[in-house]
Chain A
Amino acid sequence: MASGQQWVLVEMVQAFYEAPAYHLILEGILILWIIRLLFSKTYKLHETYKLTEKEKEDLIEEWQPEPLVPPVSKDHPSLNYDIVTGPPSHKIIINGKECTNFASFNFLGLLDNERVKQKALASLKKYGVGTCGPRGFYGTFDVHLELESRLARFMKTEEAIIYSYGFATIASAIPAYSKRGDIIFVDEAACFSIQKGLQASRSFIKYFKHNDMEDLERLLKEQELEDQRNPRKARVTRKFIVVEGLYINTADICPLPELVELKYKYKVRIFLEESLSFGVLGEHGRGVTEHYGVNIDDIDLISANMENAVASIGGFCCGRSFVIDHQRLSGQGYCFSASLPPMLAAAAIEALNIMEEDPDIFAVLRKKCKHVYKALQGTPGLKLVGVPFAPALHLQLERSSGSRDSDMQLLRSLVDYCLEGQVALTLARYLEKEERFLPPPSIRVVVTIEQTEEDIQKLVSCIQEAVSANLK
């Protein structure tokens, strides 16, 4: 009621008159101080010095950036690519010269297979070339679904997921599961795409010496002690081990049974990268798990690219649905990128058909690998790095000259000599400044199923001649 309100106001005014003077003065000073603080500028540490407009303009005038890219000299070794005219199959035409191919990762010889080409052609006539969209937006074709189910069936896992680029497969898979604060134990010889995946994940990375299970166990034990000190943090920190089946940098195999033991002992998950061993190891070509007879469910995620044995483009991950399904929404290379062109998926399906129909090719490939390994074993001046059943071996210099550049040049001259002798080899390429543990310079020797006895003989004699001609 209005009169009631007025009455309260009168009381207030009366109280105001009746208050002692000092009280009013104190309150007045406080109110003025508050008003002053409200309107004064906030104190920023950063701008204790204020630059005038003129000084700012001068700084802007003076600033000179570096050139966008540093100049590259014309005879930089990685600048001049070898040009291949024609298909890179068993007989490859490099720089105009026809050679026997010991350099492309065409292990099962499927690059030139007529059936694969026909299937790709049929797919092209049905779907065109590109998919014009990512998987989520009308970029999923029935061929993709078929390829995924075939891969899952082939590897005897629940589910598989396809990527359109081999490099992006493991580099998108690792950050999908491992975030900031998680811990990843990785082998020193891990390939570059794994390193990029690790970098994108922002987790703690701990490297253990190549294939050294004791070193890994030591790191795991240290981590266990850490966990006991801080159990609350340990309950939410995920731990992973990332290894490759056949390492591309050192051509040897990881000790998978010991890794699985360590997995259950220390409760870490295993991610296995099988780009080199898919379609090579194992009785049916299922990779390193079949080679050792390990139960495939013990490995949390298997990732491989389809660019080596399968002779297509792209990559896949397979495992249990619990693990793989997560990547459909959080694998960056899957969600934000266009899907694999359907003709490449059709080619991969046909390659899988061939692999399933004729499992003898894996035994033949392994025999040829052993043969090449034995033949190259005693080359003077060069040492052979790898295991006998690895299809991609490395030839390193027995005695290094001390400088990487001169080693590379020497090896390049060996490769050039072999090209003249109609044997195609290649230097193993790395980004020198970006690799964490740079492997020594080497020549890559790739064994494929199409190589004959004579080809291997020619390879060995060519290399020996090259060494005696160029290495003093």
Chain B
Amino acid sequence: ECTDFHQHIQLLPYLAVKSSLCVTRLYSRPFIESFEETPMLVAVLTYMGYGILTIFGYLRDFLRHWKIERCHIAREREVQKDFVPLYQDFENFYTRNLYMRIRDNWNRPICSVPGAKMDLMERASHDYNWTFEYTGRVVQDVINLGSYNYLGFAENTGPCADSAAEVTMKYGVGVASTRQETGNLDRHEEMEKLVAKFLGVESAMAFGMGFATNSMNIPALAGKGCLILSDELNHASLVLGARLSGSIIRVFKHNNMQSLEKLLREAIVHGQPRTHRPWKKILIVVEGIYSMEGSIVHLPEVIALKKHYRAYLYLDEAHSIGALGPRGRGVVDYFGLDPCDVDVMMGTFTKSFGAAGGYIAGKRLIEYLRSHSHSAVYATSMSPPVVEQIITSMKCIMGEDGTAIGRERVRQLAENTVYFRKRLREMGFIIYGNNDSPVIPMMLYMPAKIGAFGREMLKRNIGVVVVGFPATPIIESRARFCISAAHTKDMLNRALSVISEVGDLLQLKYSRHRIQPSLARPFDDNVYEDIDD
């Protein structure tokens, strides 16, 4: 039957026998997640839709091959025609025949700050999305529900922008050397100390790109003879880093602690495959918030497991740093846990800090990374204005700049999130994920609705992100809303009314649980009491 809202209390069978640790005590606050099951009729219609599109795809390929239809696809050079083809035809079938039809929903160019409202450049296509032309007009004040701007630091005015401007004029924009050679500026060291203080750990190290942080540092931490236990829905950078490390990778079901425990026990008891030597180390790789599902990792249980089985935990807080927790310190703060329990804390500065880059923080870990990380030796260090933006925004969130702006923004984000989710659920849409996650996936399912939703929302001046295969399972395409602290109540209400209108037009209100709209209760401020730093 459908999974309803339920408290996520799993009794870990082995741990419960071993010690009388009751799992409910690990969670200090209600943890409500829901992933409503796909209605059967919708699933059938979605498969049918993809089937029809595939048949048409074959038909169009046939017509293009026999030159009945004009072919827009770029071609290989004449002189290289007898080389082995660079792409196999079937590799690009999906791109040619399905993605091309709705391509105008992605890569939309903007020409303003990616804040709560943005200006889009208008594009038109006269050949069904094969090529785009810019009409020269700008669509102004489009409500931005797509950018990762959780705390609203994407702004071009204010203290962050002013200090970044100062640093640009003083230091310039580039660095032209690596950290180990002459690229280590004093600003980098200051930023790293600040990041360590923010997270509550011993030391931290920053890198120029979040993706590269994972793909270059996981190989430094795990190698041959190690085991990496990775969640099913981990980000591509984590998967690439795990592959490049050369360790054995085993995947456990998404957020499923029993699956993880089973893998841990099996691994330790049986050792490495075939030789049965004991593993050198076991690294559990999870994310704070999974951006495609909107779910939050069950961190208390993972930490309990990790302590019991002596594994190491790598936590990727790309989306959750700054966005969760009463003080904005991420998922560790959200659950009220000790940051020293997480061995490797990784995160990015792109989402909540309005800058670019990533960091890794931990205890007794950073000296090793300073000398053995690929990025420190071969990659150019971070640009000075970006570093300055990180320093200023982090100080703002911590309250060290003397204002309460940071705390206010964290509170505003939490309020916006709860409100938006509640209203969407009341309207009857299927929303995935945790009640507190600012990433809100709304299910669309059918391929035609992906394109239709994106376009209809843009017509009404709201920019949303839609995702389909291969980022999601084939029938579970969705629209993903990212709430920001910069969104005002009016913007959210307008967005909600438009979403409801489009939802009625496209028949997107699939949910079979109708919630009665609760009486307008003010946001419960007691949840986020004043906590002294």
Is B180 a contact of A429 with CB atoms below 8 Å?
Answer: yes
Residues of chain A within 8 A (CB-CB) of B237 are: 332, 336-337
Interface locus among A83-91, A399-407, A460-468: A83-91
Complex interface: chain A residues within 8 A of B384 (CB): 87
Interface hits, A106-126 → B, CB 8 Å: 106, 110-113, 116-117, 120-121, 124-126
Q: Which residues of B contact A337 (CB under 8 A)?
A: 209-212, 237
**Which residue of B74, B153, B165, B169 contacts A125 across the interface (Cβ within 8 Å)?**
B165
Most B-side CB within 10 Å, residue of A76, A193, A313? A313
Query: Which chain B positions have C-beta within 8 A of A89?
Result: 172
Q: Are the CB atoms of B169 and A121 closer together than 8 Å?
A: yes
Is B365 part of the contact surface with A, judged by Cβ < 8 Å?
A: yes
Select the stretch in A59-67, A205-213, A251-259, A280-288 that faces chain B.
A59-67
Residues of chain B with a CB closer than 8 A to A322's CB: 74-77, 86
| Contacts A68-B365, A267-B82; A103 near B354 (Cβ below 8 A) | no
| A192-B165 contact given A140-B109, A267-B83, A313-B383, CB 8 Å threshold | no
**Interface size on A (CB < 8 Å)?**
117
Inter-chain contact A167/B378, CB cutoff 8 Å: yes
* Among B112, B149, B379, contact of A132 (Cβ-Cβ < 8 Å): B149
| Partner-contacting stretch, out of B305-313, B322-330, B519-527 | B305-313
Candidate in B86, B115, B121, B189 with the most chain A CB atoms within 10 angstroms: B86
Contacts of B110 in A (CB 8 A): 138, 140-142
- Give Cα distance in the complex from A343 to B79, angstroms: 40
B529 touches A (CB below 8 Å) = no
- On whether the beta carbons of B282 and A65 are closer than 8 Å, the reply is yes
Most chain B CB atoms below 10 A, which of A120, A133, A308, A311: A133
User: B180, A68: Cβ atoms under 8 Å?
Assistant: no
Q: Per-residue 0/1 for A411-431: is the Cβ within 8 Å of any B Cβ (1 yes, 0 no)?
A: 000000000000010111111
- Of the four ranges (under 10, 10 to 19, 20 to 34, 35 or more), the interface on chain B belongs to 35 or more
Inter-chain contacts of A69 with B (CB < 8 A): 221, 364-365, 368-369
**Complex Cα distance A424/B184, Å?**
14
Q: A51-B269, A196-B374 are in contact. Are A128 and B155 (CB under 8 A)?
A: yes
Across the interface, which residues of B come within 8 angstroms of A426, CB to CB?
177, 181-182
Task: Identify which of residues 298-342 in chain A touch chain B, using a CB-to-CB cut-off of 8 Å.
Answer: 305, 307-308, 310-313, 320-323, 325-326, 328-329, 332-333, 335-338, 340-341
Inside 8 A of B75's CB, which chain A residues have their CB? 322
* Complex alpha-carbon distance, A128 and B168, angstroms: 12
Q: In the complex where A165-B212, A200-B243, A343-B168 touch, is A429 in contact with B178 (Cβ < 8 A)?
A: yes
Instruction: Assess whether B367 is in contact with A141, with CB atoms less than 8 Å apart.
Output: no
Q: Is A78 an interface residue (CB 8 A)?
A: yes
B380 CB contacts on chain A under 8 angstroms: 166-167, 305, 307, 313
Q: A111 touches which one: B146, B176, B208 (CB < 8 A)?
A: B176
The yes or no answer to A100 lying at the interface (CB within 8 A) is no
Determine if B298 is an interface residue (Cβ-Cβ < 8 Å): no
0/1 string, B77-116, CB within 8 A of A gives 1: 1011011111110000001000100000011111111110
Cα–Cα distance between A320 and B78 once the two chains are bound (Å): 13
List A residues 137-191 near B (Cβ within 8 Å).
Answer: 137-142, 144-145, 164-168, 177, 191
> B351 within 8 Å of A by Cβ?
yes
Fill in one digit per residue for A372-410: 1 if any B CB lies within 8 Å of its CB, else 0: 000000000000000000000000000000000000000
B9 cross-chain contacts in A, Cβ below 8 A: none
Question: A70 at interface (Cβ–Cβ under 8 A)?
Answer: yes
User: Which of B20-28, B273-281, B424-432 faces chain A?
Assistant: B273-281
Q: What chain B residues lie within 8 Å of A470 (beta carbons)?
A: none
Cβ-based interface call for B295 (8 A): no
Asked whether B375 lies within 8 Å of A326 as measured between CB atoms, the reply is: no
A311 and B161 in contact, given A79-B370, A82-B184 (Cβ under 8 angstroms)? no
In the assembled complex, how far is the CB of residue A441 from the closest CB belonging to chain B, in whole angstroms? 14
Q: Is the CB of B161 within 8 A of A129?
A: yes
Please give the distance in Å from B410's CB to the nearest CB on chain A: 17
Residues of chain A contacted by B282 (CB below 8 angstroms): 65
B372 contacts the other chain (Cβ, under 8 Å)? yes
B385→A124 contact, CB < 8 A: yes
Provide the bound-state CA to CA distance between A427 and B312, in Å: 35
Q: State the CA gap A449–B176 with chains docked (Å).
A: 14
Chain A residues in 8 Å Cβ range of B303: none
Whether B109 and A429, one on each chain, are in contact in the complex, defined by CB atoms closer than 8 angstroms, is no
Task: Say whether B196 faces chain A, with CB atoms less than 8 Å apart.
Answer: no
Contact with A along B175-195 (1 / 0, CB 8 A): 111111111111001000000
Contacts of B146 in A (CB 8 A): 133, 137-138
Q: Does A250 contact B (CB under 8 A)?
A: no
Q: Is the CB of A116 within 8 A of B355?
A: no
- Tell me the complex Cα distance, A428–B240, Å: 28
Q: For A444, what are the chain B residues with a Cβ–Cβ distance below 8 Å?
A: 181
The reply on A104 being an interface residue by CB < 8 A is yes
A368 near B: Cβ within 8 Å?
Answer: no
Report the minimum CB–CB distance from B33 to chain A (whole Å): 24
Are A59 and B268 neighbours in the complex by a CB distance under 8 Å?
yes
| A135 CB contacts on chain B under 8 angstroms | 107
| Inter-chain contact B82/A65, CB cutoff 8 Å | no
A341: which of B172, B368, B386 is its contact (CB, 8 Å)? Answer: B386
For chain B, residues 327 to 364, give those with C-beta under 8 angstroms from any C-beta of chain A.
343-344, 348-351, 353-356, 364
Closest CB in chain A relative to B369 CB, distance in Å: 8
Q: Which residues on A sit within 8 Å (CB–CB) of B87?
A: 326
Kindly state whether residue A239 has any CB partner on chain B within 8 Å.
yes
* Known pairs A60-B309, A129-B386, A130-B353; A336 contacts B279 (CB<8 A): no
Given contacts A60-B309, A337-B210, 14 further A-B contacts (CB under 8 A): A69-B365, A84-B185, A87-B171, A92-B182, A104-B181, A116-B172, A128-B155, A236-B84, A238-B85, A238-B86, A312-B174, A338-B209, A343-B173, A428-B181
- Provide a sorted-by-A list of 9 A–B residue pairs whose CB atoms are within 8 angstroms: A72-B371, A76-B371, A87-B171, A117-B172, A130-B350, A137-B465, A167-B374, A168-B211, A426-B177
Residue ranges of A at the interface with B (Cβ–Cβ < 8 Å): 51, 56, 59-60, 63-66, 68-70, 72, 76, 78-79, 81-89, 92, 94, 101, 103-106, 110-113, 116-117, 120-121, 124-133, 135-142, 144-145, 164-168, 177, 191-193, 196, 199-200, 234-239, 264, 267-269, 297, 305, 307-308, 310-313, 320-323, 325-326, 328-329, 332-333, 335-338, 340-341, 343-344, 347, 424, 426-431, 434, 444
Closest 4 A/B residue pairs (Cβ): A165-B209, A69-B368, A337-B211, A167-B379
